Amino acid sequence: MSKKKINGVSASFTYQYPNWDNQFVKAIFDHNEKQQKIETQNTIAWMDFIEQEIQEMDSYPEAEAIIQKLTGVDDGE
């Protein structure tokens, strides 16, 4: 990027070099992209696992205890 000041006005511009290819920089971006995809897939798999665990629950003892404490109502158990 080049910056020039003309009569107190600052301007800048960039220029894309045609056919410029830096393999090192490209490798870094490719690696980061692959790593992000892996992390996203792992997060989705973890969320699916937790969702399945929650769906298989037939009661929620911690939530029920909090509700009983807040309301002061004991359901007789």
Altogether, the residues listed in the chain come to a count of 77
Helix (H) or strand (E) holding 31: helix 23-56
Contact yes or no for 4/11 (Cβ under 8 A) = yes
User: What are the counts of helices (DSSP H) followed by strands (DSSP E) for the chain?
Assistant: 2, 2
Tokens of 69: 């404490």
Q: Global pTM?
A: 0.48
What does the alpha-carbon distance between residue 12 and residue 3 come to, in Å, rounded to a whole number? 5
pLDDT in tens, 2-56: 566 677 788 777 777 777 778 888 888 889 999 999 999 999 999 999 999 989 9
Tokens of 5: 């000041």
